Structure 1
Amino acid sequence: MDFLRWLFEAQIPVGGSALVLREVLGNIFGLLSALGGMRRKVWAWPIGIIGNLLLLTVFLGNVFGAAAPATLWGQAARQIMFIAVAVYGWYRWKQGQESSTQGRAIVPGWASNRVRIALIAAMVAGTAALTPLFDSLGSYPPVWADAWTFMGSLLATYGMAKGWTEFWLIWVAVDIVGVPLLFSAGYYASAVMYLFYGFFTLTGFFVWWRAEKRERPSGDAGPVAAALSAGALK
Protein backbone atom coordinates (compact mmCIF):
# COMPACT_ATOMS: atom_id res chain seq x y z
CA MET A 1 0.00 0.00 0.00
CA ASP A 2 2.86 2.36 0.77
CA PHE A 3 4.27 1.72 -2.70
CA LEU A 4 0.93 2.45 -4.37
CA ARG A 5 0.51 5.64 -2.36
CA TRP A 6 3.99 6.74 -3.39
CA LEU A 7 3.33 5.81 -7.02
CA PHE A 8 0.12 7.85 -7.16
CA GLU A 9 1.58 10.88 -5.41
CA ALA A 10 5.13 11.01 -6.78
CA GLN A 11 6.09 13.90 -9.04
CA ILE A 12 9.27 14.93 -10.82
CA PRO A 13 10.19 18.62 -10.38
CA VAL A 14 10.92 20.34 -13.69
CA GLY A 15 11.67 24.04 -13.52
CA GLY A 16 8.82 25.72 -11.71
CA SER A 17 6.38 22.85 -12.26
CA ALA A 18 6.32 19.07 -11.93
CA LEU A 19 5.61 15.99 -14.00
CA VAL A 20 3.45 13.16 -12.71
CA LEU A 21 5.70 10.12 -12.31
CA ARG A 22 2.99 7.76 -13.57
CA GLU A 23 2.76 9.73 -16.79
CA VAL A 24 6.52 9.45 -17.35
CA LEU A 25 6.60 5.73 -16.53
CA GLY A 26 3.54 5.03 -18.67
CA ASN A 27 5.17 6.65 -21.68
CA ILE A 28 8.44 4.79 -21.09
CA PHE A 29 6.55 1.50 -21.18
CA GLY A 30 4.75 2.75 -24.30
CA LEU A 31 8.07 3.47 -25.98
CA LEU A 32 9.39 0.01 -25.09
CA SER A 33 6.21 -1.49 -26.53
CA ALA A 34 6.66 0.48 -29.75
CA LEU A 35 10.26 -0.72 -30.03
CA GLY A 36 9.09 -4.29 -29.53
CA GLY A 37 6.37 -3.79 -32.13
CA MET A 38 8.87 -2.52 -34.68
CA ARG A 39 10.97 -5.64 -34.05
CA ARG A 40 7.78 -7.77 -34.09
CA LYS A 41 8.32 -9.18 -30.60
CA VAL A 42 5.39 -10.73 -28.74
CA TRP A 43 6.48 -9.09 -25.47
CA ALA A 44 5.56 -5.71 -26.96
CA TRP A 45 1.90 -6.35 -26.09
CA PRO A 46 2.13 -7.06 -22.30
CA ILE A 47 4.67 -4.26 -21.87
CA GLY A 48 2.24 -1.91 -23.59
CA ILE A 49 -0.60 -2.99 -21.30
CA ILE A 50 1.41 -1.95 -18.24
CA GLY A 51 1.93 1.49 -19.77
CA ASN A 52 -1.77 1.75 -20.63
CA LEU A 53 -2.81 1.03 -17.04
CA LEU A 54 -0.48 3.74 -15.74
CA LEU A 55 -1.66 6.33 -18.27
CA LEU A 56 -5.31 5.47 -17.60
CA THR A 57 -4.90 6.71 -14.02
CA VAL A 58 -3.21 9.87 -15.32
CA PHE A 59 -5.74 10.98 -17.95
CA LEU A 60 -8.68 10.45 -15.61
CA GLY A 61 -7.43 13.57 -13.84
CA ASN A 62 -8.50 13.93 -10.22
CA VAL A 63 -10.65 10.78 -10.30
CA PHE A 64 -7.70 9.05 -8.63
CA GLY A 65 -6.88 12.05 -6.47
CA ALA A 66 -4.03 13.13 -8.70
CA ALA A 67 -3.11 16.71 -9.46
CA ALA A 68 -3.44 16.15 -13.19
CA PRO A 69 -3.70 19.23 -15.47
CA ALA A 70 -6.99 18.23 -17.10
CA THR A 71 -9.32 15.31 -17.64
CA LEU A 72 -9.12 13.88 -21.16
CA TRP A 73 -11.87 11.31 -21.54
CA GLY A 74 -10.75 10.33 -25.03
CA GLN A 75 -7.18 9.75 -23.89
CA ALA A 76 -8.42 7.78 -20.87
CA ALA A 77 -10.87 5.70 -22.90
CA ARG A 78 -8.25 4.82 -25.46
CA GLN A 79 -6.08 3.28 -22.74
CA ILE A 80 -8.94 0.85 -22.04
CA MET A 81 -9.26 0.28 -25.79
CA PHE A 82 -5.49 -0.32 -26.03
CA ILE A 83 -5.70 -3.01 -23.38
CA ALA A 84 -8.60 -4.79 -25.09
CA VAL A 85 -6.95 -4.74 -28.53
CA ALA A 86 -3.57 -5.64 -27.02
CA VAL A 87 -5.03 -8.86 -25.63
CA TYR A 88 -6.16 -9.72 -29.18
CA GLY A 89 -2.80 -8.74 -30.67
CA TRP A 90 -0.90 -10.65 -27.98
CA TYR A 91 -2.87 -13.80 -28.74
CA ARG A 92 -2.59 -13.36 -32.50
CA TRP A 93 1.17 -12.76 -32.53
CA LYS A 94 1.84 -15.57 -30.06
CA GLN A 95 -0.24 -17.91 -32.21
CA GLY A 96 1.70 -16.83 -35.27
CA GLN A 97 5.03 -17.37 -33.54
CA GLU A 98 4.04 -20.89 -32.51
CA SER A 99 2.74 -21.73 -36.01
CA SER A 100 5.68 -20.29 -37.94
CA THR A 101 8.54 -22.60 -38.82
CA GLN A 102 10.90 -19.62 -38.50
CA GLY A 103 9.54 -18.38 -35.18
CA ARG A 104 8.15 -15.11 -36.57
CA ALA A 105 5.25 -13.55 -34.71
CA ILE A 106 4.03 -11.72 -37.82
CA VAL A 107 5.04 -11.06 -41.40
CA PRO A 108 4.05 -7.53 -42.43
CA GLY A 109 1.74 -7.03 -45.39
CA TRP A 110 -0.29 -4.32 -47.09
CA ALA A 111 -3.99 -3.92 -46.48
CA SER A 112 -6.26 -4.17 -49.52
CA ASN A 113 -7.68 -1.01 -51.11
CA ARG A 114 -11.07 -1.93 -49.69
CA VAL A 115 -9.63 -2.10 -46.19
CA ARG A 116 -7.85 1.23 -46.64
CA ILE A 117 -11.10 2.93 -47.65
CA ALA A 118 -12.83 1.34 -44.66
CA LEU A 119 -10.09 2.61 -42.32
CA ILE A 120 -10.42 6.19 -43.61
CA ALA A 121 -14.21 6.06 -43.37
CA ALA A 122 -14.05 4.67 -39.83
CA MET A 123 -11.58 7.40 -38.81
CA VAL A 124 -13.82 10.21 -40.04
CA ALA A 125 -17.15 8.72 -38.93
CA GLY A 126 -15.82 7.65 -35.54
CA THR A 127 -14.38 11.10 -34.85
CA ALA A 128 -17.68 12.75 -35.76
CA ALA A 129 -19.68 10.35 -33.59
CA LEU A 130 -17.42 10.52 -30.52
CA THR A 131 -16.91 14.31 -30.47
CA PRO A 132 -20.34 15.16 -28.96
CA LEU A 133 -20.01 12.25 -26.51
CA PHE A 134 -16.64 13.38 -25.22
CA ASP A 135 -17.91 16.97 -25.15
CA SER A 136 -20.83 15.98 -22.92
CA LEU A 137 -18.38 14.25 -20.58
CA GLY A 138 -16.36 17.45 -20.26
CA SER A 139 -13.28 16.52 -22.25
CA TYR A 140 -10.63 19.20 -22.81
CA PRO A 141 -11.12 21.27 -25.99
CA PRO A 142 -10.83 21.01 -28.91
CA VAL A 143 -12.88 17.89 -28.28
CA TRP A 144 -12.70 16.68 -31.88
CA ALA A 145 -8.93 16.29 -31.44
CA ASP A 146 -9.51 14.01 -28.45
CA ALA A 147 -11.96 11.95 -30.52
CA TRP A 148 -9.53 11.85 -33.46
CA THR A 149 -6.67 10.50 -31.35
CA PHE A 150 -8.98 7.88 -29.85
CA MET A 151 -10.19 6.60 -33.23
CA GLY A 152 -6.72 6.71 -34.77
CA SER A 153 -5.24 4.82 -31.84
CA LEU A 154 -7.94 2.16 -32.11
CA LEU A 155 -7.39 1.64 -35.83
CA ALA A 156 -3.59 1.75 -35.57
CA THR A 157 -3.47 -0.81 -32.76
CA TYR A 158 -5.86 -3.11 -34.62
CA GLY A 159 -3.75 -2.69 -37.77
CA MET A 160 -0.63 -3.67 -35.84
CA ALA A 161 -2.36 -6.80 -34.56
CA LYS A 162 -3.39 -7.69 -38.12
CA GLY A 163 0.10 -7.05 -39.50
CA TRP A 164 -0.83 -4.18 -41.87
CA THR A 165 2.19 -2.00 -42.64
CA GLU A 166 -0.09 1.05 -42.98
CA PHE A 167 -0.74 1.08 -39.24
CA TRP A 168 2.44 3.14 -38.77
CA LEU A 169 1.01 5.89 -40.98
CA ILE A 170 -2.17 5.99 -38.91
CA TRP A 171 0.01 6.67 -35.88
CA VAL A 172 1.56 9.62 -37.72
CA ALA A 173 -1.93 11.06 -38.27
CA VAL A 174 -2.66 10.58 -34.56
CA ASP A 175 0.54 12.34 -33.50
CA ILE A 176 -0.06 15.35 -35.75
CA VAL A 177 -3.26 16.10 -33.84
CA GLY A 178 -2.41 14.56 -30.47
CA VAL A 179 0.84 16.43 -29.76
CA PRO A 180 -0.69 19.95 -29.85
CA LEU A 181 -3.66 18.71 -27.78
CA LEU A 182 -1.45 17.26 -25.05
CA PHE A 183 0.73 20.37 -24.90
CA SER A 184 -2.30 22.64 -24.58
CA ALA A 185 -3.81 20.41 -21.86
CA GLY A 186 -0.58 20.49 -19.83
CA TYR A 187 0.49 16.86 -20.32
CA TYR A 188 4.03 17.79 -21.29
CA ALA A 189 5.67 14.40 -20.73
CA SER A 190 3.13 12.69 -23.00
CA ALA A 191 3.35 15.49 -25.58
CA VAL A 192 7.14 15.23 -25.82
CA MET A 193 6.93 11.46 -26.04
CA TYR A 194 4.29 11.64 -28.78
CA LEU A 195 6.45 14.13 -30.65
CA PHE A 196 9.23 11.55 -30.57
CA TYR A 197 6.74 8.85 -31.61
CA GLY A 198 6.01 10.87 -34.76
CA PHE A 199 9.57 10.35 -36.00
CA PHE A 200 9.76 6.84 -34.59
CA THR A 201 6.62 5.71 -36.44
CA LEU A 202 8.06 6.83 -39.77
CA THR A 203 11.10 4.68 -39.06
CA GLY A 204 8.86 1.76 -38.12
CA PHE A 205 6.95 2.13 -41.37
CA PHE A 206 10.08 1.71 -43.48
CA VAL A 207 11.35 -1.15 -41.29
CA TRP A 208 8.10 -3.08 -41.83
CA TRP A 209 8.04 -2.16 -45.52
CA ARG A 210 11.50 -3.67 -46.04
CA ALA A 211 10.56 -6.71 -43.96
CA GLU A 212 7.44 -7.25 -46.08
CA LYS A 213 9.44 -7.29 -49.30
CA ARG A 214 12.13 -9.54 -47.80
CA GLU A 215 10.00 -12.09 -45.96
CA ARG A 216 6.66 -12.39 -47.73
CA PRO A 217 6.36 -15.53 -49.82
CA SER A 218 6.25 -14.88 -53.57
CA GLY A 219 2.68 -14.33 -54.75
CA ASP A 220 1.29 -13.89 -51.24
CA ALA A 221 -0.58 -10.58 -51.09
CA GLY A 222 -2.39 -11.19 -47.82
CA PRO A 223 -1.94 -9.04 -44.74
CA VAL A 224 -0.31 -11.72 -42.59
CA ALA A 225 2.07 -14.57 -42.94
CA ALA A 226 1.00 -17.83 -44.52
CA ALA A 227 1.73 -19.47 -41.17
CA LEU A 228 -1.05 -17.40 -39.63
CA SER A 229 -3.67 -17.85 -42.29
CA ALA A 230 -5.08 -21.14 -41.07
CA GLY A 231 -5.49 -20.40 -37.40
CA ALA A 232 -5.71 -16.62 -36.98
CA LEU A 233 -8.78 -14.83 -35.73
CA LYS A 234 -11.04 -13.46 -38.43
Structure 2
Amino acid sequence: MNDTFLLLGLINTSSLEILSFTLAIAMVLLNIKQSPWAWLFAIASAGLYAIVFYEAKIYGDMALQFVFVAISLWGWYQWLFGGGDRQGIAVSRLTTKGWLIVAATWALAYAIVAAILQAFTDTDVVHIDAFLTAGSLVAQYLLTRKTIENWHLWIGIDLLYIGLYLHKDLYLSAVLYGLFAILALVGLLAWKKSFAAKESII
Protein backbone atom coordinates (compact mmCIF):
# COMPACT_ATOMS: atom_id res chain seq x y z
CA MET A 1 0.00 0.00 0.00
CA ASN A 2 3.04 2.24 0.38
CA ASP A 3 4.45 1.54 -3.09
CA THR A 4 4.92 4.79 -4.98
CA PHE A 5 3.37 5.74 -8.32
CA LEU A 6 2.74 8.87 -10.38
CA LEU A 7 -0.61 10.44 -9.58
CA LEU A 8 -2.10 11.99 -12.74
CA GLY A 9 1.34 11.63 -14.24
CA LEU A 10 2.57 14.52 -12.10
CA ILE A 11 2.96 13.71 -8.39
CA ASN A 12 4.99 10.82 -7.00
CA THR A 13 2.91 9.39 -4.13
CA SER A 14 1.49 6.20 -2.61
CA SER A 15 -1.95 4.86 -1.75
CA LEU A 16 -1.09 5.26 1.93
CA GLU A 17 -0.18 8.92 1.48
CA ILE A 18 -3.39 9.56 -0.47
CA LEU A 19 -5.53 7.96 2.27
CA SER A 20 -3.68 9.94 4.96
CA PHE A 21 -4.15 13.09 2.87
CA THR A 22 -7.92 12.54 2.56
CA LEU A 23 -8.42 11.84 6.27
CA ALA A 24 -6.35 14.89 7.22
CA ILE A 25 -8.42 17.22 5.03
CA ALA A 26 -11.64 15.86 6.56
CA MET A 27 -10.13 16.40 10.02
CA VAL A 28 -9.35 20.08 9.43
CA LEU A 29 -12.77 20.77 7.90
CA LEU A 30 -14.42 19.25 10.98
CA ASN A 31 -12.09 21.26 13.25
CA ILE A 32 -13.24 24.45 11.57
CA LYS A 33 -16.83 23.46 12.35
CA GLN A 34 -15.77 22.62 15.94
CA SER A 35 -17.05 19.07 15.51
CA PRO A 36 -15.72 16.52 18.05
CA TRP A 37 -15.68 13.95 15.23
CA ALA A 38 -12.59 15.72 13.92
CA TRP A 39 -10.53 13.91 16.55
CA LEU A 40 -11.42 10.46 15.17
CA PHE A 41 -10.16 11.50 11.75
CA ALA A 42 -7.07 12.97 13.43
CA ILE A 43 -6.28 9.62 15.05
CA ALA A 44 -6.67 7.68 11.81
CA SER A 45 -4.68 10.17 9.74
CA ALA A 46 -1.86 10.38 12.30
CA GLY A 47 -1.51 6.61 12.46
CA LEU A 48 -1.15 6.32 8.70
CA TYR A 49 1.16 9.33 8.37
CA ALA A 50 3.50 7.79 10.94
CA ILE A 51 4.22 5.07 8.39
CA VAL A 52 4.67 7.57 5.55
CA PHE A 53 7.15 9.66 7.55
CA TYR A 54 9.07 6.60 8.73
CA GLU A 55 9.67 5.65 5.12
CA ALA A 56 10.84 9.22 4.38
CA LYS A 57 13.16 9.23 7.45
CA ILE A 58 11.40 12.25 8.95
CA TYR A 59 11.56 10.70 12.41
CA GLY A 60 10.53 13.72 14.44
CA ASP A 61 7.37 14.02 12.40
CA MET A 62 6.85 10.26 12.66
CA ALA A 63 7.04 10.33 16.47
CA LEU A 64 4.80 13.40 16.46
CA GLN A 65 2.00 11.35 14.92
CA PHE A 66 1.91 9.01 17.93
CA VAL A 67 1.74 12.01 20.24
CA PHE A 68 -1.07 13.37 18.07
CA VAL A 69 -3.04 10.16 18.66
CA ALA A 70 -2.77 10.59 22.44
CA ILE A 71 -3.55 14.32 22.29
CA SER A 72 -6.50 13.65 19.99
CA LEU A 73 -8.08 11.30 22.52
CA TRP A 74 -7.76 14.00 25.17
CA GLY A 75 -9.01 16.69 22.77
CA TRP A 76 -12.04 14.58 21.88
CA TYR A 77 -12.91 14.31 25.56
CA GLN A 78 -12.39 18.06 26.13
CA TRP A 79 -14.60 19.06 23.22
CA LEU A 80 -17.36 16.72 24.39
CA PHE A 81 -17.17 16.88 28.17
CA GLY A 82 -14.72 19.65 29.15
CA GLY A 83 -15.56 22.92 30.84
CA GLY A 84 -17.18 23.68 34.15
CA ASP A 85 -20.58 22.38 33.07
CA ARG A 86 -19.14 19.27 31.38
CA GLN A 87 -20.83 20.31 28.12
CA GLY A 88 -17.62 20.91 26.17
CA ILE A 89 -15.22 23.84 26.12
CA ALA A 90 -15.82 27.12 24.26
CA VAL A 91 -13.52 29.08 21.95
CA SER A 92 -11.06 31.25 23.89
CA ARG A 93 -8.04 33.52 23.35
CA LEU A 94 -4.47 33.51 24.65
CA THR A 95 -3.36 36.12 27.17
CA THR A 96 0.08 37.76 27.06
CA LYS A 97 1.22 35.27 29.69
CA GLY A 98 -0.18 32.48 27.52
CA TRP A 99 1.93 33.63 24.56
CA LEU A 100 5.06 33.66 26.73
CA ILE A 101 4.32 30.10 27.86
CA VAL A 102 3.78 29.04 24.24
CA ALA A 103 7.13 30.51 23.17
CA ALA A 104 9.03 28.98 26.10
CA THR A 105 7.41 25.56 25.62
CA TRP A 106 8.16 25.59 21.89
CA ALA A 107 11.81 26.48 22.49
CA LEU A 108 12.25 23.79 25.16
CA ALA A 109 10.53 21.13 23.08
CA TYR A 110 12.67 22.08 20.06
CA ALA A 111 15.89 21.67 22.05
CA ILE A 112 14.81 18.26 23.37
CA VAL A 113 13.61 16.91 20.01
CA ALA A 114 16.69 18.21 18.16
CA ALA A 115 19.00 16.52 20.67
CA ILE A 116 17.15 13.23 20.31
CA LEU A 117 17.14 13.36 16.51
CA GLN A 118 20.84 14.26 16.43
CA ALA A 119 21.82 11.45 18.77
CA PHE A 120 19.62 8.59 17.67
CA THR A 121 18.59 8.99 14.02
CA ASP A 122 20.09 9.35 10.56
CA THR A 123 17.87 12.26 9.53
CA ASP A 124 19.38 15.03 7.42
CA VAL A 125 16.83 17.62 8.56
CA VAL A 126 17.43 17.70 12.30
CA HIS A 127 16.69 21.33 13.08
CA ILE A 128 13.70 22.04 10.83
CA ASP A 129 12.16 18.67 11.77
CA ALA A 130 12.66 19.42 15.48
CA PHE A 131 11.38 23.01 15.16
CA LEU A 132 8.21 21.99 13.32
CA THR A 133 7.62 18.95 15.53
CA ALA A 134 7.82 21.11 18.65
CA GLY A 135 5.61 23.80 17.16
CA SER A 136 3.04 21.24 16.05
CA LEU A 137 2.79 19.87 19.58
CA VAL A 138 2.14 23.35 20.95
CA ALA A 139 -0.39 24.18 18.23
CA GLN A 140 -2.19 20.87 18.71
CA TYR A 141 -2.48 21.48 22.44
CA LEU A 142 -3.99 24.91 21.78
CA LEU A 143 -6.43 23.26 19.37
CA THR A 144 -7.60 20.83 22.07
CA ARG A 145 -8.30 23.86 24.27
CA LYS A 146 -10.18 25.62 21.43
CA THR A 147 -7.77 28.54 21.61
CA ILE A 148 -8.07 30.79 18.54
CA GLU A 149 -4.32 31.30 18.31
CA ASN A 150 -3.79 27.64 17.37
CA TRP A 151 -4.70 28.72 13.83
CA HIS A 152 -2.00 31.42 13.79
CA LEU A 153 0.59 28.80 14.70
CA TRP A 154 -0.72 26.28 12.18
CA ILE A 155 -0.57 28.78 9.31
CA GLY A 156 3.15 29.40 9.88
CA ILE A 157 3.96 25.76 10.59
CA ASP A 158 2.06 24.49 7.55
CA LEU A 159 3.88 26.90 5.24
CA LEU A 160 7.26 25.73 6.54
CA TYR A 161 6.24 22.09 6.19
CA ILE A 162 5.69 22.64 2.46
CA GLY A 163 9.41 23.27 2.02
CA LEU A 164 10.36 20.24 4.12
CA TYR A 165 8.11 17.88 2.19
CA LEU A 166 9.30 19.18 -1.16
CA HIS A 167 12.85 18.51 0.02
CA LYS A 168 11.81 14.94 0.89
CA ASP A 169 9.92 14.38 -2.39
CA LEU A 170 6.61 14.06 -0.53
CA TYR A 171 4.83 16.18 -3.10
CA LEU A 172 1.27 15.22 -2.19
CA SER A 173 1.99 16.04 1.44
CA ALA A 174 3.40 19.40 0.33
CA VAL A 175 0.13 20.07 -1.49
CA LEU A 176 -1.77 18.92 1.61
CA TYR A 177 0.05 21.40 3.84
CA GLY A 178 -0.59 24.18 1.36
CA LEU A 179 -4.30 23.35 1.70
CA PHE A 180 -3.84 23.16 5.46
CA ALA A 181 -2.48 26.70 5.50
CA ILE A 182 -5.50 27.96 3.55
CA LEU A 183 -7.91 26.01 5.77
CA ALA A 184 -6.14 27.31 8.87
CA LEU A 185 -6.89 30.83 7.69
CA VAL A 186 -10.53 29.84 7.18
CA GLY A 187 -10.54 28.28 10.65
CA LEU A 188 -9.06 31.44 12.17
CA LEU A 189 -11.78 33.62 10.67
CA ALA A 190 -14.55 31.17 11.63
CA TRP A 191 -13.38 30.83 15.23
CA LYS A 192 -12.96 34.60 15.59
CA LYS A 193 -16.57 34.98 14.47
CA SER A 194 -17.68 32.31 16.96
CA PHE A 195 -15.74 34.01 19.78
CA ALA A 196 -17.21 37.43 18.92
CA ALA A 197 -20.71 35.97 18.93
CA LYS A 198 -20.12 34.44 22.37
CA GLU A 199 -18.77 37.73 23.72
CA SER A 200 -21.77 39.67 22.40
CA ILE A 201 -24.10 37.30 24.24
CA ILE A 202 -22.16 37.73 27.46
Task: Judge same fold: TM > 0.5, yes or no.
Answer: yes
Match of 1:32 among 26, 36, 39: 26
Q: Does 1:88 align with 2:88?
A: no
Which residue type is aligned with residue 123 of structure 2?
S
Q: What is aligned with 2:36? A: 42
Unaligned runs of 5+ in 1: 1-6, 62-69, 220-234
Cα distance in structure 2, aligned partners of 1:96 and 1:128: 31
Q: What is aligned with 1:138? A: 122
Which residue type is aligned with residue 191 of structure 1?
A
After TM superposition, give the deviation of residue 8 of structure 1 in Å: 4.2
Q: Does 1:13 align with 2:34?
A: no
1:217–1:81 distance in 2 versus 1, CA, 3 Å:
farther
Which residue type is aligned with residue 112 of structure 2?
A
Cα distance in structure 1, aligned partners of 2:19 and 2:5: 11
Cα distance in structure 2, aligned partners of 1:217 and 1:106: 18
Cα distance in structure 1, aligned partners of 2:140 and 2:187: 14
Cα distance in structure 1, aligned partners of 2:177 and 2:16: 16
Unaligned runs of 5+ in 2: none
Farther-moved stretch of structure 1 (175-184 vs 14-23) = 14-23
After TM superposition, give the deviation of residue 217 of structure 1 in Å: 6.9
Q: How many residues align?
A: 199
**CA deviation map 1:129-165 (0-9, x unaligned):** 3213212311232x21101111111111111111110
Alignment of 1:79-228 (within 5 A): 79-96=65-82, 99-100=86-87, 105-136=88-119, 137-141=121-125, 143-216=126-199
**CA deviation map 1:49-91 (0-9, x unaligned):** 1111111111111xxxxxxxx3100110110111010010011
Which residue type is aligned with residue 43 of structure 1?
W
Alpha-carbon contact 1:180-1:191 (below 8 Å) kept: yes
Structure with greater Cα Rg:
1
Match of 2:51 among 39, 51, 57: 57
For the aligned residue pairs, the C-alpha RMSD in angstroms reads: 2.0
Cα distance in structure 2, aligned partners of 1:188 and 1:216: 42
Instruction: Give the TM-score normalised by structure 1.
Output: 0.79
